[in-house]
Structure 1
Amino acid sequence: MTIRVLIVDDSKFMCHRIQQILEEEPDCQVVGIAENGMQAVRLAQELKPDVITMDVEMPVMDGITAVKKIMANTPTPILMFSAMTHVGAQATLDALNAGALDFLPKKLDDIDSDKALAKIILRRRVRMVAQQAERLHKRKRIITPQPKSAAAFKNRSGKFDLILIAASTGGPVAVQQILKHIPAHCSAPVLIIQHMPGSFTRSFAKRLDEVCKINVVQAEQGDLLKPGIAMVCPGGKQLEISQQFNRCQVMLRDKQAGEIYSPCVDLTFMSVAKNFTGKTLAIILTGMGTDGAKGAQQLKKQGAEIWAQDEASSVIYGMPKAIADAGLADNILNLEQIGQTFDRLN
């Protein structure tokens, strides 16, 4: 099956480069090029592409406005190209909130220092986004049948001492949607492990802090876990916790050889299983791959409760699927159900 791509960028060089990289694969075809958001909206309706690559900063109509209009008129999987800057991070988060499915750095060097590998990553990401076309129609907060009774949503002790939230592709929007339901009086610390570049996580934490009732910050070395404070793991770092004088604190370190993700959900989960003695709730949201499954096994052995996002509300049903397939999920819920349950937490 041929993947039909619409490229949107006001740089002719970038359009040519993206087209060249994608069409090195025989099943990728660039069916159109738009120089601004207004052209993109029109061509999306005329050409019905399988995926759109979208720049943010453009004349006439910017990429964020174009995403909103396309998702309202002709919903299409959109991959944003973003500058790895503070401003670029804010714009990308806006685009994801508007309906874009994923993002990549605009410069190949920011994707990977190995340009050959960067090309492969770009093509793979376009394929992955294109595969979500059918799922777009399932992302309208569908209430799926509850796998267990409403009473089962509460953990056995009636209270959690720590909440872990893990996500990858589709995560920024999903995390925001459920985190804003946590009440201001929540007594549990929250740790958020979101696969995201280091230049984005501080902006992500700031965005969450603006829309949530609890305080949200980017985790720093030595931070103590405090009631009602949510901490986002910095991109490019690994977050583990340690016990110091009967208090739990954050330990950050650089990615080591052989570690695929940074942050890595498995590493954080296993650290919590080893060093935290209270009642833990771990929630695994949308994302590609299986990161979190090994760590969830260790948490389960220590009595933690595990929730997984359901397939219908996931952008990518990979990470939560791994939890469900392993039989680790105490509850399989959509985002609205998780949010409603959070309204009653602690």
Structure 2
Amino acid sequence: MRLKKILEQDPEIIVTDAARNGEDALRKIAALQPHVVTMDVEMPGVDGLEALKRIMEDYPVPVVMLSALTAQGTVETLRALELGAVDFIQKPGFMDARALEKFEKELPEKIKTAATSTVHGKRPLPKPAGSIPVLGKKSSPLKMVAIGCSTGGPAALQQIIPVLPKNFPVAVIVVQHIPKGFTRPMAERLDKISHITVVEAERGTVIKAGQVYIAPAGSVFTVKKTGEEIRAELDALTTRSAFKPSVDDMISSVADVYGEQALGVILTGMGNDGLKGLSALKRKGGRVVAEAESSCVVFGMPKAAIEAGIVDQVVDLSIMGETIVKNVLR
């Protein structure tokens, strides 16, 4: 089995067993109690999503999903992240040597990162759209909320964006580390379950209050003021970051454009992307909120900001949406 061979090449990983299908996987997980599980969405019998649901209910363990390079595979992968998977990796095409090489390099690293993560399982969605009244007060000293996240981010965003009221008086920009092809379906999913409109940003998109903009994967995302308008820019600068988009690039540009009228929010994720941008925002008089370790899948990005002394509030994900609203209306 190729997957098993790839993982066994890493001396820090021990492969305890391989399963033939979903039912076999559930039996072996119960018996072997592995630190991490890798699972394909497409499996005979009990499929990956059903197996994942039962894993989270009966044997909570970090799960890294294998995703197909198709539209349906994208939707199913996002569903897996909702159900509690901590991360995913796209399966390479059979004839794509470069993609295979990338897969062989990234998979072991994702497995080792997953082993250090905290499993929270499937969280219930916040109150459905329409159940929270619109804001009585429509003005705010702020004009922008800038959110950055990585591992665990898609599920975290589903706990935050639906809480924002319909007439939210500021714009929201989100950078989520995720491969190309996933940001538009993620935006569409969030839009369906939220009061506020959620879209994938495009080059030249005018940033308006009462909208959530998801930065498109694969591009350097920044904002720029032109005349009276503030627009999204893609690949307008050369980034030093390993990520496209990066939280640092986005929030640094937000700091330049909005200054003290912006709120920076840093959520679950590995590494320290966002630290430079949030530091710049703090110097301009902006406020910073970080997710607490108690609810993070990976307490990396928030931890870096907290340890740097630039965070004004540290809150659990369960009250992050409410905290953002309170900051906007303070």
SS in 2 for 1:237: coil
Distance 1:110 1:116 in 2: 11
Q: Which amino acid aligns with 1:47?
A: L
Query: In the superposition, relative to structure 1, how do residues 203 and 261 fare at CA in structure 2: closer, same or farther (>3 Å)?
Result: same
Query: In the superposition, relative to structure 1, how do residues 101 and 116 fare at CA in structure 2: closer, same or farther (>3 Å)?
Result: same
Which of 203, 208, 217 does residue 199 from structure 2 map onto?
Answer: 217
The CA deviation at 1:113 is: 2.9
Supply the RMSD in Å over aligned alpha carbons.
Answer: 2.4
Match of 2:14 in 1: 29
Tell me, which stretches of 5 or more residues in structure 2 are unaligned?
125-138
Distance 1:111 1:186 in 2: 45
Conserved 8 A contact 2:153-2:267? yes
The CA deviation at 1:336 is: 1.3
Q: Deviations over 1:244-266 (max 9, x none)?
A: 11211111118857431001111
Would you say 1:314 and 2:296 are equivalent positions?
yes
- Larger displacement relative to structure 2 (233-242 or 254-263): 254-263
Match of 2:276 in 1: 294
Distance 1:138 1:45 in 2: 16
Query: In the superposition, relative to structure 1, how do residues 255 and 66 fare at CA in structure 2: closer, same or farther (>3 Å)?
Result: farther
Q: Which amino acid aligns with 1:297?
A: S
Match of 1:44 in 2: 29
Match of 2:82 in 1: 97
Match of 2:313 in 1: 331
The CA deviation at 1:326 is: 0.3
Conserved 8 A contact 1:104-1:111? no
Match of 1:340 in 2: 322
Would you say 1:183 and 2:144 are equivalent positions?
no
Conserved 8 A contact 2:274-2:301? yes
Percent identity of the aligned residues?
A: 37
Match of 1:71 in 2: 56
Conserved 8 A contact 1:111-1:118? no
TM score, norm. by length of structure 1: 0.85
TM score, norm. by length of structure 2: 0.89
Which of 179, 183, 186 does residue 204 from structure 1 map onto?
Answer: 186
Conserved 8 A contact 1:105-1:111? no
The CA deviation at 1:37 is: 1.5
Tell me, which stretches of 5 or more residues in structure 1 are unaligned?
1-15, 142-156
Would you say 1:125 and 2:110 are equivalent positions?
yes
Match of 2:119 in 1: 136
Q: Deviations over 1:285-305 (max 9, x none)?
A: 000110000011111111111
Q: Deviations over 1:88-121 (max 9, x none)?
A: 1110111011111100111178999375554232
The CA deviation at 1:28 is: 2.0
Query: In the superposition, relative to structure 1, how do residues 111 and 271 fare at CA in structure 2: closer, same or farther (>3 Å)?
Result: farther
Match of 2:4 in 1: 19
Query: In the superposition, relative to structure 1, how do residues 331 and 223 fare at CA in structure 2: closer, same or farther (>3 Å)?
Result: same
The CA deviation at 1:131 is: 2.0
Distance 1:204 1:36 in 2: 28
The CA deviation at 1:277 is: 4.8
- Larger displacement relative to structure 2 (33-42 or 292-301): 33-42
The CA deviation at 1:83 is: 1.5
Conserved 8 A contact 2:175-2:246? yes
Looking at secondary structure, tell me which structure has more strand per residue.
Answer: 1
Aligned length: 314
Conserved 8 A contact 2:259-2:281? no
Structure 1 segments of 4 or more deviating over 3 A? 108-112, 114-118, 137-141, 254-259, 342-346
The CA deviation at 1:130 is: 1.6
Query: In the superposition, relative to structure 1, how do residues 315 and 324 fare at CA in structure 2: closer, same or farther (>3 Å)?
Result: same
